[in-house]
Structures are given as C-alpha cells and as structure tokens.
A and B are shown apart, each in its own frame.
Chain A
C-alpha cells in the first residue's frame, strides 16, 4: 500500500470509530429531518428515547416490541394529501401497523384507532376514511377493538391524523432477530420499490409532474406467512421498508448485526415510471418510502425456496434477490452499480419527501 492509501485508510478508520460512537441528541429544535427515518431520526431515537425508555424489548429496535409472545406496535399517520393514487390515510393506518407486526413475525390480531380531527373536516371525508379503515382491517383479518377521538381548532392539524396500535401473536415458525444476520445470507425484496413515496409526492402536485404511479399499500402478512412456511428458522430477519426506503432498512440491519452488505443495483426491481420520476427529481428510489414492500434476510440454503414462496404472495410477483450479507466492512452497505463500479449506500440524511405516511 502506498503512503497515501495508508493515510486514507487511517482517516476512514477514524470516521468509522466516530460513527460507531453512541448517538447524542444535541439539536436545539426539531426539524423535518427528525421525522424522515434517516440519520436524524436514528439520533433522536438512540440519543433521547432509548436512554429514557430503553428496556430489553425496546432495545431490539424491531418494528414491534415483543412481550410474552405478543407483539405490540404503534404508528401515527399524517400523510398529506389524505387521499392519493392507490390508497388513503385510513388504509395506510391499518396496513402500516399490520405490517409492523407482520415483519416482527407476528400474526396481526387487533388494532386500536385514534383520530385527531381538524375542525371543519367534512363528514364525507371522514366517512370515506372510516370505510377505508374498515375494509383494510377486514382484508388484513384484524379487528378494531378500541378507539379515541379528539378534535382540534381549524389550522391546528391538517385534515386528520390517525394513530393505530396493533397487537399480534408471535408465530411459532418465526425466530427473527434484528441482530441475527450472518455472512452469506441473501437479501430479498418483496416487490418493486419506491411506489408509495413517489405516488404521494406526485399527488401533491407540487412538481408539475404526473406519472402512472400508485401507492403499494397492502398487508404484508400473506407474504410473511409464505416466507415462514418456506424458510422457517432460516428466515433471519424481516424489515418493512417504509420511511427511508430500502436503503435505510438495509443500513439499520447491517449496523444491528455488525455485518456488511453488497447490493446489486441492477437486480433491484424499480418500475420505469418510478425510476423516471425519481430521475427527474434527483432522488434515489432506494430512499423512497414503501408501504407494501419488505426486505427479508434468509440463510443461503433457504433463499431459493423463500424467493419462490415470496413471489407467490399477492403483490409480490416481482420479488427479487438483490444482494448478500458480507463480513467486512461491518455496518456498511455497498452497492455494485449497474455501471460496474462500487459505492457506499448510507442512511438518509435530511428529508426528501416530508409527510409521506
């Protein structure tokens, strides 16, 4: 190694040590970036919430907490606009929470539902969302068992915010853990990425761009069910690729398991309208939110069966193996670009698309 590359390696090693330090939340105020699911969110969670609340179940930082064989999770929905091609806030509120349970390996059982409504909201809009919630819950096989309603003055919220809390039962076939990834494991995605975030962004009409893109909001339990059947204990971990997209999901898991990952860019399914809209807006679809895409990490011997099972689940026909877990450099996700080079794919910084869920 030349003297320069040695110095560069030392500089990089120092950076990795700095990155490995426990996150400290030092910001003077909350900015939109804290809600974007990227680095600022991670700092907020690890630097403020975990030190205050962090029991064993929370420290796992899974999509749901596990207590006595039950999975519990909660999520608030503030999407703007409340209706967009392919879905609406009500449908999202059911599927988002159901999916957090599903990727924790839990069969969704029941939801609670809280509304914050803006004074002046039309009854028609509310009725439409109630119907959307009812039909999404029926489709996902969960019951709404409790709820709450608050109304705030006009201008104090944007139409409506919805919070759902979900309860699920851990599936006996599942032995999932965020820190269980091993070198050689295969990385699967369940379908074409970036659809939801792109659809909502275009529905806002801020960009004077239109494209035939619909939200992919759906329950992922059938996909998880199929994966558990096919791979059982070989299924290491699942992640719902919502805010921050597939890139953030991979980075979080790479850090939790202290492993490296290599993603083959050409293997990642992206539909042309999404790729085109993202190209024009200068966004990488790997960072765009999904509401019906999961990332699965599977032991290599079970990967082919898992992929076949996944592809048979509704909405997952385009499921693909996109990469592999490696040993070194730990905590880092690398991309083999379609052009033949390599680069790092880091956690999202900043907030490309606020309030997409």
Chain B
C-alpha cells in the first residue's frame, strides 16, 4: 500500500503483526496465520526451532526477531492491548503521578509509535503538561534526496525491474519520485517483503531485479536473509540497493544537539527485538535521560509514558523494558549474526535533516559484493541539499512541532510532500496532518 494516508506502514515495519504457525514448509519458511486465520508465508530462520501453534511477531514477511511469549494468549493479543477501559485507567494514573505545573517532554523514537499515537488518539488521553515529541525513527523519513535520485537513476536503466516498499515510491528526490519515474516508463514495482523481490527475480531471469532496501535493524535481518537465499540459490539477476541504517548513532547525534530539550525517551520496540535493550544504556549513563522500550499497541504506549514519568518523578534514570513480552535484554543473536555476515558499517551515511552521521549506515559486506547494486550499476551518487524551506531536521530532532514548520500543510502536504516526514504514514508531519489536524482544545459541536 502506498502506505497511504492512513495505514501504518509495512515499509518501515516498525509495526509487527502477531501470527500463529500453521505448518512448516521447510527451507526456513513457515505458513502462518494472522488474527483472522489468513495464511501467509513467513521466513522463520531467525527464531530458533519453530513448531505449529507457536506465536511469532512478523515484520515485512520476515519473522524477525522474536517469538511472542505465551502462544495461548496470541489470538486475543491485539484486542487486549487496545482496551479503552484499561486506557482510561492508565490515563488516570498518569494524571495522578505528574507534578502540576511541571512540563514533561518525552520523545518516542520510533515512527511506528508516532503512528499508533495518532491513529488511536493516544495523546488525547494525556494531560496537557505531558508532551510527546516525535523522533527520527521513521526509516523513510531519514532517506536523503540524493539516495532517491540514485534509486530513480537505477530504475531507469533498461532491463531493470526496481522493487521497493510502497512509501518509498512517493518520497521526492531532487528530480521527482519513483512513482513519477514509473509513470514515465521505468518498471518500478511495489513489494511487501524482500522475498517478493527475490521471487520477481526468479520469475524474470532475463531482467535485472533491484531491491531498494530501507529500514533500521528491524527490517535489515529480512533483507539479509533474502540476500543469503539469493546467494545460496544463485539468483544472478538479483541485487540490493542498501539504505539500511542503525538506530544508536542518530540517537547519540540527537542527544549531542545543543537545542534538544527532552526529559526522557520511549525506546523503539521492534528494533530492540534485534539489538536488545543494552545498546540504549548510554542514554541514562551518558546523558541522564530515562528510556522505556515500548510495544506498539496504544496501551503499550500509555504504559511506557507512565513508566518514563515514574522514573522522572522518583528521580530514577535507567533503561526499562515495557515490551518484555517480545524484547529480550540481549536481542536476537541469530539476527545480529546474519546482519554481521551480510552487512558492514559504512564510514558515514547521510541522514535527511541530520546530515552525515558516522557508522550509521549498512552496506553489503565483501562476501555479498556480487549482490550489491551499488557495485553492479553506475550510481550517480549526487548529493542534493535538503530544500531550504523544509524543516524536517528540526522536526526529526523534536526541536519544533510539525505545524511549526513554515511549509507544513500549505506547500508541503501528503499529496505533494516537500519533506520526507510528510511522506510515510509514520512520519511525524504526515501523522499530524492526516490524523491530528484539529485543535485539541476545540470541541466538536
């Protein structure tokens, strides 16, 4: 879906879906059913032994990282975490714990959280002095314009089928979007998982199929597993244009920013299923800010906000794990190992609005160089400066609210985005525009 206006975004897949294993199809693939019983094929290489009846958390067709605990509870998994009555109770506890007159600014790092907050109206349930600031954790939003231009250039190479997640098709580069490139004749196809791209490569042996990989450590294991498969089965016409990034370097860059005013963080849940909770310990240790790693349902977020506030009120400062039902402290060693094998850190990578950040991007390792689109094709690699009017950087850092950007909602809208924050439904600007665009104190009459 283009992850369109509504729609949380599979692209970034900081959204995960709970699915039950029906049967094992072999070769690391399992047939799984979602809450409705609909079957889907899922890569399960990373979760250790899987048996029918197990519950998995699935992102972008790759069951990365972790098994949910308690298979029996799984079918009602989603509903339980959306219970309005429990939400009201938690909201009451938040009101009771905050000190009147004190302002609390808490950043949710992950775009999936931003989306949940707006989709369910979670901030409607918070007192006025608790403000949620939307952070840099939307992988679509942090892709610089030059990389989009590079992608378009590859897409236009004769014989190439260029595959990408829906949201990336609408991200403007310096010379239009992939969607416009498609309208001009480039063969750009939307996929839901890197496995889909590999399947297209198998079905079109006379064409070069390139997968435009984006995402944090959440989606990177799915890409890595797909590349392992492609290498093992020898699909010579498949390659990957990697734009995978890692979560810790931008957080550190953010915390170093002199204009930052934050009291604490709601940490990214699904990234943590891969990297674990420990990588975030520098935030309380070096910067004195509490972190609570959170799940993605509205109740998860309310509870995480409550936990951050409780740390602040009690004068504590540590990494807490609200999402312990899926996030182990050490992450997923199998996923980390496959990342280690398939990818290596770039010396630096450019982030939209944040500039170059050292050791923040992943490229294919030497062992996978044959599948690296950046080596297979001529990539212009032109740098495009962010549009002057666009304040994506300040929005990503939480320095300004989306509506404070000079072009928000006027020159920059979801149908004609200038900045990436307006493209993905997980972007702070798009979420605010699509869902939050009414004054909170204004009654509907």
**A and B form one complex:** yes
| B residues near A351, Cβ cutoff 8 Å | 2, 4
Nearest B residue (CB) for A286: B6
Stretch at the interface among A113-121, A185-193, A230-238, A273-281: A273-281
Give complex CA distance A348, B5 in Å. Answer: 6
**Residue B354 at the chain A interface, CB threshold 8 Å:** no
**Across-interface contacts of B36 in A (CB, < 8 A):** 211, 272-277, 279
Whether B38 lies near A276 (C-beta < 8 A) is: yes
Question: A53 contacts the other chain (Cβ, under 8 Å)?
Answer: no
In the complex, A273→B8 CA distance in Å?
Answer: 18
Chain B residues near A279: list those with CB within 8 A.
17, 34-36, 78
Which size bracket describes the interface of A in this complex? Answer: 35 or more
Q: Does B348 contact A (CB under 8 A)?
A: no
Report B-chain residues with C-beta under 8 Å of the C-beta of A80. none
With A28-B180, A279-B34, A287-B6 given, is the CB distance from A344 to B17 under 8 Å?
no
Given B3, B170, B298, B434, which contacts A346 in the complex, CB threshold below 8 Å? B434
Task: Give every chain A residue within 8 A of B206 (Cβ-Cβ).
Answer: none
Q: Is B370 an interface residue (CB 8 A)?
A: no
Of B49-57, B116-124, B143-151, B306-314, the segment with at least 4 beta carbons within 8 Å of chain A is: B116-124
In the bound complex, how far is the Cα of B439 from the Cα of A344, in angstroms?
Answer: 11
Contact with B along A75-97 (1 / 0, CB 8 A): 00000000000000000000000
A342 interface residue per 8 A CB criterion: yes
Whether A342 contacts B124 in the complex (CB less than 8 A), given A262-B444, A282-B1, A349-B415, comes out as yes
Is there an interface contact between B436 and A343, defined as CB atoms closer than 8 Å? Answer: yes
Complex interface: chain A residues within 8 A of B414 (CB): 39, 346, 349-350
Beta-carbon contact of B444 and A280 below 8 Å: no
Bound-complex Cα distance A279 to B16 (A): 10
Set of chain B residues within 8 Å of A12, measured between Cβ atoms: 403, 409, 437-439
Q: Are A281 and B180 in contact (CB under 8 A)?
A: no
Cβ B401 vs Cβ A206 within 8 A: no
The yes or no answer to A284 lying at the interface (CB within 8 A) is: yes
Given the contacts A328-B444, A340-B88, A351-B4, A9 and B121 also touching, CB distance less than 8 Å: no
- The answer to whether B230 has its CB under 8 Å from any CB of chain A is no
For the complex, give the distance between the alpha carbons of A206 and B435 in Å. 29
- Quick one: which of B6, B39, B122, B434 contacts A283, CB cutoff 8 A? B6
Instruction: Looking at the assembled complex, report how far the CB atom of B4 sits from the nearest CB atom of chain A, in whole angstroms.
Output: 4
Cβ distance B214 to chain A, nearest Cβ, rounded Å: 15
The residue from A281, A338, A342 contacting B1, defined by CB atoms under 8 A apart: A281
A206 partner residues in chain B, CB cutoff 8 A: 192, 196
- Is A151 at the interface (CB under 8 A from chain B)? no
A343 touches B40 (CB 8 A): no
| Residue of B1, B6, B119, B183 ringed by the most chain A CB atoms within 10 A | B6
B433: chain A residues at CB < 8 Å are 15, 346
Distance to closest chain B CB from A262 (angstroms): 6
Query: B125 in the interface, Cβ–Cβ < 8 Å?
Result: yes
With A9-B442, A28-B180, A33-B179 known to touch, is A280 a contact of B38 (CB < 8 Å)?
yes
A14, A209, A247, most chain B CB atoms within 10 A: A209
Please tell me if A254 contacts chain B, counting CB pairs below 8 Å.
Answer: no
- With A350-B4, A350-B170 known as contacts, the answer to whether A339 contacts B120 (CB < 8 A) is yes
Say how far A182's CB is from chain B's closest CB, in angstroms: 13
Using a CB-CB cutoff of 8 Å, which residues 6-23 of chain A contact chain B?
Answer: 7-9, 11-12, 14-15, 18
Q: Would you give the shortest CB distance from A284 to chain B, in whole angstroms?
A: 4
Q: Contacting chain B: which of A154-162, A172-180, A289-297, A329-337?
A: A329-337
Q: B445 touching A31 by the CB < 8 A rule?
A: no
Q: Tell which of B10, B121, B123 has the most Cβ of chain A within 10 Å.
A: B121
Decide if A343 touches B118 in the complex (CB within 8 Å). yes
B86-141 with Cβ < 8 A to chain A = 87-88, 118-125
| Contact B439–A283 (Cβ < 8 Å) | no
Expressed in whole angstroms, the Cα–Cα distance for A326 and B1 within the complex equals 31
Which chain B residues border A272 with CB–CB below 8 Å? 35-36
Per the bound structure, the CA–CA distance linking A210 and B32 in Å amounts to 11
Interface assignment of A144: CB less than 8 Å from any CB of chain B: no
Shortest Cβ distance from residue A3 to the other chain B in the assembled complex, whole angstroms: 12
Binary flags per residue of A236-277, CB closer than 8 Å to B gives 1, else 0 = 000000000001000000000000101000000000111111
Contact status of A352 and B7, CB under 8 A, knowing A8-B439, A209-B39, A346-B434: yes
Q: Does A30 contact B (CB under 8 A)?
A: yes
Contact of B82 with A by CB under 8 A: yes
The answer to whether the Cβ of A353 comes within 8 Å of any Cβ in the partner chain is yes
A346 touches B441 (CB 8 A): no
B84 within 8 A of A: yes
Verify if B182 is at the interface (C-beta below 8 Å from A): yes
Report yes or no: A341 in contact with B415, Cβ–Cβ below 8 A: no
CB neighbours (8 Å) of B410 from chain A are 14-15, 18
Chain A residues within 8 Å of B437, by CB:
12, 15, 332, 344, 346
B192 touches A352 (CB 8 A): no
Give the distance in Å from the alpha carbon of A347 to the alpha carbon of B414 in the complex: 11
The yes or no answer to A170 lying at the interface (CB within 8 A) is no
Q: Which residues of A contact B380 (CB under 8 A)?
A: none
- Pairwise interchain contact B442-A329, C-beta atoms closer than 8 A: yes
A-B contact pairs, 8 of them (CB 8 A): A15-B410, A15-B433, A211-B36, A283-B1, A328-B444, A328-B445, A332-B437, A339-B298
Task: Using CB atoms and an 8 Å cutoff, list the residues of chain A in contact with chain B.
Answer: 1, 5, 7-9, 11-12, 14-15, 18, 28-33, 38-40, 43, 202, 206-212, 247, 260, 262, 272-277, 279-284, 286-287, 326-329, 332, 334-353
Other than the given A287-B6, A329-B438, 16 more pairs (CB < 8 A) read A31-B183, A32-B183, A33-B179, A276-B34, A282-B9, A284-B7, A327-B445, A328-B444, A328-B445, A329-B444, A338-B120, A340-B88, A341-B125, A344-B434, A348-B6, A350-B4
